Amino acid sequence: MVQGAVPPSVTQLIETFSELPGIGPKTASRLAFHLLRGRSEPAAPTQAPPTLAPPTLALRLAEALRNLVENTRFCSQCFNVTEQDPCPICADLARDHGLLCVVEEPLDLLALERTEQYRGVFHVLNGALSPMEGIFAEDLRIKELELRLAKGDIREVILATNPTSEGDYTAAYLLGRLKHSGVRVTRLGRGLPMGGDLEYADAVTLTRALESRQEL
């Protein structure tokens, strides 16, 4: 930043915004300057220094961030983000508590909920195994998963890790740890995505689609 042209509190906000994923320095500075708008018109220069009406969006965002930190916790059963413990999904007796879907992140759980087809419960791992990034089995909630299975109420575990090399590796690792538990372990189907084009499908996707071809 050019010395003098940008005050320190603006620079600080730009730098903090830049720490968010997908937000580069240009976007960060656009966001910061956007939040500086919408203030009351300053007084004429001959009068007292302009007083500012607080930019409401900046304050509301600060408030929403504080609320997030203060009100959310992890569900003690499935480790989804929640405000009550157990979370509304775990507390829902209408759901099938014998069917457990293992996902990497809360956003993956959300994607499955959006289908409105899944009526079991979840287990959020908090990521996928990635020795390259230093994420090992003890960093994920695998022990907690085994404790849940040890209670004997679960008849099927669906491994719904991402279709990436880390996700596949995590699923293979989990299968190794769970196969002696007597619980049925399944994996989400692989193949061509809806709306996809065969011409542009990558080789791995096509291979998986061939392998999982079905009788008509």
Q: Which of residues 26-85 bind its own copies (CB under 8 A)?
A: 27, 29-36, 39, 41-46, 49-52, 54-55, 57-74, 76-77, 79-85
Q: Is the dihedral of CA 85, 91, 95, 97 positive or negative?
A: positive
Residue 137 interacting with its own copies (CB under 8 A): no
Smallest gap from residue 59 Cβ to its own copies (A): 6
Residue 117 interacting with its own copies (CB under 8 A): no
Terminal alpha carbon distance of the chain: 63
Site for its own copies in 192-211 (CB under 8 A): none
Nearest residue to 165 (alpha-carbon basis) of 133, 143, 197? 133
Among 6, 135, 183, 188, binds its own copies (CB under 8 A): 6
At 95, phi and psi to the nearest 5? -85, 160
Among 96, 120, 144, 163, binds its own copies (CB under 8 A): 144
Are 55 and 36 in contact, with CB atoms under 8 Å apart? yes
Distance CA 151, CA 74 (A): 20
Q: Which CB, 13 or 174, lies closer to its own copies?
A: 13
Among 93, 120, 135, 148, binds its own copies (CB under 8 A): 148
Q: For residue 186, what are the β-bridge partners?
A: 158
